[in-house]
Amino acid sequence: MSSNDKNSKLDKMDLAYAAILGLAVVITAWCGYQHELWSSALTFELKQANTAHREFTTTQLKEGQSTVIDAIAFTGYLDAVSNHNQKLADYYKDGFRPEMRAAFDAWIKTDPFNNTTAKTSPFDMPEYP
């Protein structure tokens, strides 16, 4: 094999290596570009999901707090009734939240203190949220 044939073969190999290296660079750049696109989209989606989760949690906490307030007021009402203190019972009843008041009024109509088939509390009534 002559020196020119060896050089020609090496030139072709160098060209092939350069082409492969160039292709690797282009593919790497493309992957980086795609990564940034997907990363941005994912970040946006995660932000939306976190916002929705935070709003849901806030709503759940507020509902839980409302239930606790209703339970405290209802317990105070029952205590006042059991002690025959109608003035205090009315005070608690007048302080019920509108949602609790609707359930309480429906519950009272079932005559729960005398009717054994009545629900045990307004919290068991369908009117209670």
For residue 55, CA distances in Å to 43, 46, 71 come to: 18, 14, 24
Domain count, the chain: 1
Q: What is the pLDDT of residue 95?
A: 94
- Looking at per-residue pLDDT, the higher value among 85 and 47 belongs to 85
Is 102 a member of any domain?
no
Is 128 a member of any domain?
no
pLDDT tier at 9, thresholds 50, 70, 90 = low
The DSSP string of the chain is --HHHHHHHHHHHHHHHHHHHHHHHHHHHHHHHHHHHHHHHHHHHHHHHHHHHHHHHHHHHHHHHHHHHHHHHHHHHHHHHHTT-HHHHHHHHHTS-HHHHHHHHHHHHT-TTT-TTS-SSGGGSTT--
* CA-angle at 37, arms to 33 and 42, nearest 5°: 145
For 60-114, write each residue's pLDDT tens digit. Answer: 888 889 899 999 999 999 999 999 999 999 999 999 999 999 999 999 999 998 9
User: What residue numbers bound the domain in which 82 lies?
Assistant: 3-96
Q: What is the pLDDT of residue 80?
A: 95
By residue count, the chain amounts to 129
Is 76 a member of any domain?
yes
pLDDT of residue 6 exceeding 70 = no
Cα torsion 58, 62, 67, 69 to 10°: value is: 140
Is 116 a member of any domain?
no
- Amino acid in the structure at residue 51: T
Euclidean distance between CA atoms 114 and 97, whole angstroms: 25
Q: How many CB atoms lie within 10 A of CB 108?
A: 13
For 12-32, write each residue's pLDDT tens digit. Answer: 777 877 888 888 888 888 888
| pTM, rounded to two decimals | 0.59
